[in-house]
Amino acid sequence: MICLGIEGTAHSIGVGVVNDDDGKCRVFSNLIKIYRPEKGGIHPREAANHHAKYIADLIKESMEKAKICSNDINLVSFSMGPGLGPCLRTAATAARALSLSINKPIIGVNHCVAHLEIGRGTLDDCNDPVLLYTSGANTQVIAFAEGRYRVFGETLDIGIGNCLDKFGRNVGLGFPSGPKIEELAKKGKQYLKLPYSIKGMDLAFSGLLTAAGQYYEKGESLEDICYSIQETTFAALTEVTERAMAHTEKNNVLLGGGVASNKRLREMVQIMAEERGASFFVPTRDLCIDNGAMIAWLGILMYKSGIRLKVEGSFIDQRFRTDMVDVTWRD
């Protein structure tokens, strides 16, 4: 079964074509275009205009790259939420138009669950992981328990990527700042104390963001501040992930989201996994960031488990929570 998936929850518009190969996900193509504002944060309507401008070409190019024609597509899927309303609507409209024009079924999927399922679908032996999902807007620890994907811990304020990008913007690093902070952190020599906020299983980063800004104003070395931000936030993320693994008794841990590119974060989670005798997994970067292939793959899982959606009912849901999804494709 071949599915074309459209992702458009935030500043990326992505189209992926995947095939179901005996229960494993084969990615035929996975193209992404990222909206980068000249300055400041994302304006939802401008991001949506960007997506509208590129979506038709992306669909065409992703089919060419996958070496398929529209007749080969069995299913169209799109990101239903959570995300920014105008962006979600643009992706959903493109999916509806495609589904109607090629007369193939449509499925709407939860973006966060897609980040987890693409790991299970593409990585051998990653069967039942705890996902540490760290991106710009999202920071969640997700695992399957009692028939649903449940959020065991999450940020109470901003996402970790957002925290890195905001600090970077304030000190002139430009967007996205995550990779630049990673480079600077390598040269850090001294740990500067920062607030380590874990509340129960949840996290908060805005206090740390303020404190890091104050160190910068006081003239502390940017390298030391970047090093300290990474050590503090990543330790907190790793701690919550470990607690979720202990609680659910799972022995797979999976990373997802753009911040999963960070080598120090990978290292910390990997050490934690090794110490527990657990296995560590991280998909390739193009499958970690927001992408159409993960949306396509979850579409296939849902469709094959009997879920059907009418074009008339293919709404978006800006606040689509991970635990609202009825997981019909797992035992």
Interaction of residue 137 with ligand ATP, rule CB under 6 A: yes
Closest C-alpha to 78, from 6, 164, 149, 151:
6
Please count the residues of this chain forming the interface with ligand ATP, following the rule CB under 6 A: 24
CB-nearer residue toward ligand ATP: 90 or 99: 90
259 binds, among ligand ATP, Fe ion, none (CB under 5 to 8 A by kind): ligand ATP
Nearer to ligand ATP, 99 or 138 (CB): 138
Name the residue with tokens 């300055």.
Answer: 39
Alpha-carbon distance of 118 to 16, in angstroms, equals 12
Residues 6+ apart with CB under 8 A from 331: none
Tell me how far apart the alpha carbons of residues 204 and 232 are, in angstroms, rounded to a whole number: 11
For ligand ATP, the binding residues in 269-328 under the rule CB under 6 A are: 289-290
**Residue 166 near ligand ATP by CB under 6 A:** no
Residues near Fe ion (CB under 5 A): 135, 290
Of 20, 165, 202, 231, the one binding ligand ATP (CB under 6 A) is 165
Q: Say whether residue 164 binds ligand ATP (CB under 6 A).
A: yes
Tokens of 300: 């296939």
Q: Which is nearer to Fe ion, 50 or 224 (CB)?
A: 50
Looking at the chain, which runs of residues are DSSP E strands? 2-7, 12-21, 24-34, 75-81, 106-110, 130-134, 139-145, 148-154, 197-199, 202-204, 252-256, 279-281
Q: What is the footprint of ligand ATP within residues 256-275 (CB under 6 A)?
A: 257-259, 261-262
- Applying CB under 6 A, which residues contact ligand ATP? 9-12, 135-138, 159, 161, 164-165, 176-179, 182, 257-259, 261-262, 289-290
